[in-house]
Amino acid sequence: MAHRRVHGLAAVVTGITLTLSAACGGKPAAAPWSPASAGAAPGASAVATPSLDASPSPSPSPAAPSPTPSRAPTKAPTTKPTPEKAKYTLQRTTGSAGVALTFDDGPHATWTPKVLDALKARGVKATFCLVGTQAKAYPQLVRRIVAEGHTLCNHSWNHEFKLGTWSEAAIRANMQRTNDAIHAAVPGAPIRYFRHPGGNWTAAAVKVSRSLGMSPLHWTVDPQDWRRPAASTIASRVVKNTRAGGVVLLHDAGGDRANTLAALPTIISGLRGKYRLIRLPDTL
């Protein structure tokens, strides 16, 4: 198990309030992520408009200034330096009317092959956000993901929830190490996306991912499959909340993914009634 929710942030996205509490991420202060137990999911089951991008500020807005103390009118205001307002833009949509299924935290020896089988049987291409240690452990699965036409996404070396708080050099090294592990399995394969563990984006993480040619990929629909709700719940959350251009967050690792797997046929058939299911493009 595992996920912790590191922050809880409320963001208003195009009129919809959405609570993000650590997306691929989990509960507060729980055990660290391990390959056998990763997680994800923002608090809200999802739903943001598929349109854009304005990113939630990683920290809550400062409270309104308190009344000025009556003393010291002659002194310059002693306001603390405002923490730099991190402004950044995340990718939250596919960029077209198509809908993308994304699978985080793998590859996993048990669940990834089953997810790949389910996608293949239905002719669906998706996007896999890989953890570096997992890619290193299961290069044959990385090869299979690419051979079957899916898109690659970097999901950090070892699912470091606080990666974005590191120095830019350390963030870069982590992302590069992950890309190198993926490329050890599939030399030259494009890795055009990065997804921060827990959705704990920072301006630095966004900046470094872009500098490495990766778009900071968030999502629009999170059924919280890592919490292991019933398959029918996962499927109905996805089908109900997806709009054109949506990016759906799912997991093929980080714990028992039987319910996610069982939900896939209904997710696919439900979405296909209205949308084209696409892999995210490798060209940015």
Q: Just list the catalytic residues.
A: 104, 251
- Using CB under 5 A as the binding rule, the residues of this chain from 210 to 239 that contact Zn ion are none
- 36, 38, 72, 172 from 107: Cα distances, Å: 11, 12, 61, 22
Per CB under 5 A, the segment of 105-113, 114-122, 145-153, 206-214 that binds Zn ion is 105-113
**H/E element holding 141?**
helix 139-147
48 is a contact residue toward Zn ion (CB under 5 A): no
Binding to Zn ion by residue 46, rule CB under 5 A?
no
Indicate the residue among 128 and 275 with the shorter CB distance to Zn ion. 128
Would you count residue 160 as binding Zn ion (CB under 5 A)?
A: no
Phi and psi dihedrals of 272, rounded to 5?
Answer: -65, -20
Q: Which of 99, 105, 221, 264 binds Zn ion (CB under 5 A)?
A: 105
User: What is the residue whose two structure tokens read 């997710």?
Assistant: 267
Burial of 239 (0-12, 13-18, 19+ CB in 10 A): buried
Identified binder of Zn ion from the candidate list 40, 44, 248, 280, rule CB under 5 A? 40
- State which residue, 104 or 160, has the beta carbon closest to Zn ion: 104
Residue with tokens 């997992």: 134
C-beta of 241: minimal distance to Zn ion in Å?
19
Query: From the CB of residue 37, how many other CB atoms can be counted at a distance below 10 Å?
Result: 20
Contact map string, positions 185 to 204, toward Zn ion, x by CB under 5 A: ------------x-------
Q: Which residue number, 104 or 185, has a Cβ lying nearer to Zn ion?
A: 104
User: What's the closest the beta carbon of residue 195 comes to Zn ion, in angstroms?
Assistant: 7
User: Among the candidate windows 37-45, 160-168, 170-178, 256-264, which touches Zn ion by CB under 5 A?
Assistant: 37-45
DSSP-assigned states of every residue in 117-138: HHHHHTT---EEEE-HHHHHH-
**Is residue 249 near Zn ion by the rule CB under 5 A?**
no
Buried/exposed 243-262: b ≥16 CB within 10 Å, e otherwise: bbbbbbbbbbbbbebebbbb
- The CB-of-164 to Zn ion minimum distance in angstroms stands at 13
Residue closer to Zn ion by CB (options 40, 145) is 40
Residue type, 165: T
| Number of residues this chain uses to bind Zn ion (CB under 5 A) | 5
Q: Which is nearer to Zn ion, 138 or 275 (CB)?
A: 138
CA atoms of 150 and 223, how far apart (whole Å): 21
Looking at residues 65 to 104 of the shown chain, list those that interact with Zn ion (rule: CB under 5 A). 104
The candidate with the shortest Cα–Cα distance to 275, out of 92, 99, 47, 52, is 99
Q: Shortest Cβ distance from residue 12 to Zn ion (Å)?
A: 24
Strands 127-130 vs 151-154: parallel, antiparallel or unpaired? parallel
Q: Which is nearer to Zn ion, 4 or 275 (CB)?
A: 4
Q: How far is the CB of 250 from Zn ion (least distance, A)?
A: 11
Name which position in 1, 9, 24, 152 contacts Zn ion (CB under 5 A): 24
Measured CA to CA, the distance from residue 153 to residue 128 in angstroms comes to 6
Question: Contact positions toward Zn ion, by CB under 5 A?
Answer: 24, 40, 104-105, 197
